[in-house]
Amino acid sequence: MLTEYQSIEEIDKIYVYLLQGELPICYWTGKLSDFTDPNPKFRWLTMKVDKSIGKVDKDYEAGMI
């Protein structure tokens, strides 16, 4: 089902995945509304290990974007 949103605030979360081939091994989740600043500051977003996949052993190896 395709959902049409009337505003950015209606979108609860967004996900960014780090893939190994087609397998999502790490992810980051956040709010789309955090990216609407017309003059954004640089920041690091820490990814999390997808422990159900088990390709990355340690949390600090998940990476940053």
Rounded Cα distance between 49 and 25, Å, is 6
Alpha-carbon span 65 to 28, nearest angstrom: 9
The answer to whether residue 50 is domain-embedded is yes
Give the residue numbers spanning the domain of 41.
8-61
In a domain, 47, yes or no: yes
At 1 the pLDDT is 63
Rounded Cα distance, 38 and 40, in Å = 6
* Collapsed DSSP state (helix, strand, coil) of residue 18: strand
Specify if 3 maps to a domain: no
Count: domains in the chain: 1
Is 1 within the bounds of a domain? no
The per-residue pLDDT for 35 is 84
Residues 14-33 pLDDT 10s:
999 999 999 999 999 998 88
Percentage, residues of the chain above pLDDT 70: 97
- How confident is the prediction for the chain on average, in pLDDT? 88
Phi, psi dihedral angles at 37 (to 5 degrees) = -65, 120
Is the Cα dihedral 14, 56, 59, 43 positive or negative? Answer: negative
pTM of the model: 0.75
Average pLDDT over residues 56-61: 87
